[in-house]
Amino acid sequence: MVNGSTIMPEKKELPEQVPTVVEVRTPARVHLGMLSFGVPTVRSFGGIGIMLDRPGVHVRLQKSEQFLARGPLAERALEFAQNCVSAWDLGAQAACTIEVVSTPRAHVGLGSGTQMALAVAAGMRQLFRPPLPEASAEADNDPTNDEWLFDTNDAIHCAQAVGRGRRSCVGVYGFSRGGLIIEAGRIVPATPGVKGEGVSPMVARVRLPSAWRCVIIIQRDSIGLYGELEKAAFARLPPVPIEISAELARLALMQLLPAAVEANFTDFSDAVYRYGQLAGKPFEQESLKLPHAASTADVIELLGELGVRGCAQSSWGPAVMACCESLDAAGTLVEKLESLNLTRQYEAIIARYDSQGAVLRSIS
């Protein structure tokens, strides 16, 4: 859904020749926070995310006689590929060499794990052609048929093979066509061992104005929670009060979403800040233990003093998104950060809000 209108990709037949080399480029993801979790009668893990054109994942896969991987996070990429072989029953002949050309730093709030997993799965799917869901519409309307975008069913099919989207699905939906995404969450039964609903449904996707930019500010020496530590943190957290969930839903659906649709930057920025501040409250019991908690709060306060209203931490941090109305405004903000010598301690990356999602290119 873009500005209230549903856009469906044109279906085309895939080329008969199966490629031997493909590459996939993905956007990055910021997560502004969850709507709720922990209340059995209320959907859990829904929330808001925004896709950015950088710093994304770039991988290249080539058919080979055995699995090999090189580059940053190569072992994770190899594990994702082997998950695909098992999930899709591809057989021993389905092997490839994976080159991780580039990827954001892991566990800083940019969704690199999900994007890496989906990129590898998309590459494996294109190289070895497992049976696809009936509704899959993989081809984009590029007349050369050398590049493809992905629809929602493609992204979910890939995510299921590599075990992503078990909590938030923002990165999965964002892999398909980018955008500002609001997902509703899913019902999680209170009884251990009882399987809940599957994929959290996406209730809105908006393409943000092409002129808008953001600056992603990331503390260089810190990472957020992930893996078993994150699971343990969720287990210790109390349920989100329904009153907070209600106010987050109001902010999302009555302020943030309309401002995005109407391209009202001032209201959008205000809603980003208010949503981010409130969404972080239920997590404070655990998030305040993180080494970057105080410095992240200081960065958000400083951004406000510099005139940037729309700023929020992504996920467990340390990444912070600062909204800017134009490229010039983003450049000015980075110059101010440099003048304060903050870029020694923090990366500052100017990004565009992505409205395309991941792209797969067939090299041969």
Could you tell me how far CA 264 lies from the centroid of its own chain?
Answer: 23
For the chain, which ranges sit under pLDDT 70?
Answer: 1-17, 133-145, 190-197, 364
Residue at 1 is within a domain: no
pLDDT value of position 4? 46
pLDDT value of position 187? 87
Residue at 3 is within a domain: no
pLDDT value of position 192? 58
Contact 97, 64 (CB under 8 A): yes
CATH code, domain with 182: 3.30.230.120
Residue at 26 is within a domain: yes
Residue at 125 is within a domain: yes
Residue at 236 is within a domain: yes
Number of domains in the chain: 1
* Model-wide pTM > 0.85: yes
| Structure tokens that stand for 43 in this block | 């959907």
CA dihedral 239, 246, 318, 23 (to 10 degrees): 100
Q: Is the dihedral of CA 26, 37, 287, 246 positive or negative?
A: positive
Residue at 42 is within a domain: yes
Boundaries of domain holding 187: 21-362
Residue at 299 is within a domain: yes
CB-facing half-sphere around the CA of 126: CA atoms within 13 A: 34
Residue at 222 is within a domain: yes
pLDDT value of position 134? 62
pLDDT value of position 199? 87
